[in-house]
Amino acid sequence: MHQWNIYNNFDSASVAAAEFIADKIKQCCQQQDQCHVVLPGGNTPASCLSELASMNLPWERIHWYVGDERVCAKDDEQRNDLMLEKNFWSKLPAGNFHTIATELGMEQAIDEYTDVINKVEKMDIAFLGLGEDGHTASLFPDNKALENTSSVVAVYDSPKPPPLRVSLGLSYLRESKLKMILAAGAGKAAVLKSIKQGVDFPVNKLGDIHWFVDQQAMPVSTDSTD
């Protein structure tokens, strides 16, 4: 079942999400040598990640993985890894950062990232994003990438530019030990309502998710857990 955590505003939701990630990382590192975490792109997670960067964590034992990437030049502003570098990785004292080299072309990027991902049986934490169409990572509704059972998949004909992307696959993300999403704003209210109703969006194919949302995205009258 989805677990819904609703906050008065976006800042509160972001801080709570950062504290949740930090707590789960600490628990993970008590049980094993390394912790493996998927990170989202887009603008929504920026403040959450900045908050996370200020926390006391065993950074050298944490591995960070980009959940998806656009096929474009390395310095293209559309790239997820640029947002992650600016808001998170550049602030860390140490770390192990795994990006998707789409500047080398889709096929080579997939081959290289698959080699990296397949060394991790399953992610400890998958911090993902949410689109207004119910997509997550670069897994869009009715896209053939949803049928691909590989750990890293090619995405063609993305409804949002650019049309070519590389993403962690649905079947791989589904196996993550813990999945969480931070979503905010009135623009996400309709899709969140549909998700609660069980609409067959890509994000609803992932299984249980810990949600961190603000009251604009989910009215306060909605139950806090579901």
Q: What is the pLDDT of residues 60-97, one digit of tens each?
A: 999 999 999 999 999 999 999 999 999 999 999 988 99
Q: What share of the chain is helix, strand, coil (3-state, %, to 5)?
A: 35, 20, 45
Q: Left, alpha or beta for 207 (phi > 0: left; psi -120 to 50: alpha)? A: left
| Phi, psi at 217, each rounded to 5° | -80, -30
Residue 122's domain spans which residues?
3-175+185-214
Mean pLDDT of 94-106: 95
Residue 224 lies in a domain: no
Average pLDDT taken over every residue of the chain: 95
Residue 22 lies in a domain: yes
Whether residue 161 has a cis bond before it, omega within 30° of 0: no
- Residue 154, CA atoms < 13 Å, CB-side half-sphere: 11
Residue 51 lies in a domain: yes
126-145 confidence digits (pLDDT tens): 999 999 999 999 999 999 99
Residue 180 lies in a domain: no
CATH code of the domain in which 95 resides: 3.40.50.1360
Residue 223 lies in a domain: no
The number of helices, as runs of H, and strands, as runs of E, in the chain is 6, 10
> Total domain count for the chain?
1
